[in-house]
């Protein structure tokens, strides 16, 4: 069995998609459609930078999605025929839903643009923070977050793999967690260079905006079951997809559990489209599976030949 997975924030880089667009008319059409849907030359920003502007969450979210879908379209692979499941990390869940036909491309781009804006505006710059706890599992990370909160928000945002968990919340609480993490035995604790505290209760204003936006768009049943971030379980019902995407804004990304559940369901091959961040996580969660990261045209050709 095979699962196609889609990366989240942090996968952006200046130059992304440029070679794909030059080599593949299908990829180029994706970037052109996204540019038109957003009314901005996002493809030029992706190709040429500057990095600081590309990294802004309102640009990074649709850019990472566009790159992943361009990679998929350049391959010509039909997910309904070749995938048993799809999943994506945070914003990557939208890419997965687009790839599986639940959203059309233009709708996905507009939703992610809004999601990026809403998440950025939910908390004033400087009031929130996120930190990666390395060498910490979920239980230890939760204990660290609880100890650091002291009446403020501090909670687990991403359960990425058995040795990497991300916490999110008020800046003061997250900074306290850095010291507590060392005391409680985490190998390292590092602040992340993000502009807002994603996937925590402080994102509720963004969740409210996404609830309104998602209520106004059509969602089709995906051609392939999608493992949802907040349940680590497959979902196909459009109403449930809508509800879970709203919950995802404030909820924990249960990536470790999602990958483990797909492996337990029989997935032996994970294909990451448009990035190479998720692959190492997958191998730490399920060491016996095969992981293929697909970024270049050579990668695409190799994958098509293989499946």
Name the residues annotated as catalytic.
90, 199
DSSP H helical ranges for the chain:
18-23, 25-38, 42-48, 51-55, 57-75, 79-82, 92-99, 105-122, 138-149, 171-183, 204-215, 238-250, 255-264, 278-285, 297-306
How long, in residues, is the chain?
307
- In 10 A of CB 196, how many CB atoms? 23
What contacts 168, CB < 8 A, 6 or more positions away? 128, 129, 130, 153, 154, 155, 156, 157, 174, 197, 198, 199, 200, 202
Angle at 260 between CA 258 and CA 263, to 5 degrees: 110
For the beta sheet containing 269-273, the strands, ordered from the edge strand earlier in sequence to the opposite edge, are 234-235, 226-227, 85-88, 2-6, 269-273, 290-294
The dihedrals phi and psi of 25, each to the nearest 5 degrees, come to -60, -35
């Amino acid at each position: 069995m095979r699962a196609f997975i889609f990366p989240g924030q942090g996968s952006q880089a200046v130059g992304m998609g440029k070679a794909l667009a030059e080599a593949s008319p299908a990829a180029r059409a994706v970037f052109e459609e996204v540019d038109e849907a957003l009314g901005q030359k996002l493809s030029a920003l992706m190709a040429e930078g500057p990095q600081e502007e590309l990294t802004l969450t309102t640009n990074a979210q649709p850019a990472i999605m566009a790159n992943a879908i361009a990679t998929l379209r350049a391959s010509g692979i039909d997910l309904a025929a070749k995938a048993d499941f799809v999943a994506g990390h945070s914003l990557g869940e939208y890419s997965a839903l687009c790839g599986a036909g639940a959203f059309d491309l233009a709708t996905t781009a507009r939703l992610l643009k809004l999601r990026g804006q809403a998440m950025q505006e939910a908390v004033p710059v400087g009031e929130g923070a996120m930190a990666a706890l390395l060498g910490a599992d979920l239980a230890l990370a939760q204990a660290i977050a609880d100890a650091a909160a002291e009446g403020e928000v501090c909670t687990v945002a991403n359960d990425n793999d058995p040795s990497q968990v991300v916490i999110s919340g008020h800046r003061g609480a997250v900074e306290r967690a850095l010291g507590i993490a060392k005391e409680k035995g985490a190998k390292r604790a590092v602040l992340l260079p993000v502009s807002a505290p994603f996937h925590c209760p402080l994102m509720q204003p963004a969740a409210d905006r996404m609830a309104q936006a998602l209520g106004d768009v059509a969602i089709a049943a995906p051609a392939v079951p999608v493992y949802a971030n907040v349940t680590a379980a497959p979902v196909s019902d459009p109403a449930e997809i809508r509800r879970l995407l709203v919950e995802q804004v404030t909820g924990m990304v249960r990536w470790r559990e999602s990958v483990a559940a797909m492996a337990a369901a029989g997935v032996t091959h994970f294909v990451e489209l448009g990035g190479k961040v998720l692959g190492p996580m997958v191998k730490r969660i399920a060491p016996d599976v095969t992981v293929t990261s697909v970024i270049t045209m050579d990668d695409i050709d190799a994958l098509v030949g293989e499946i």
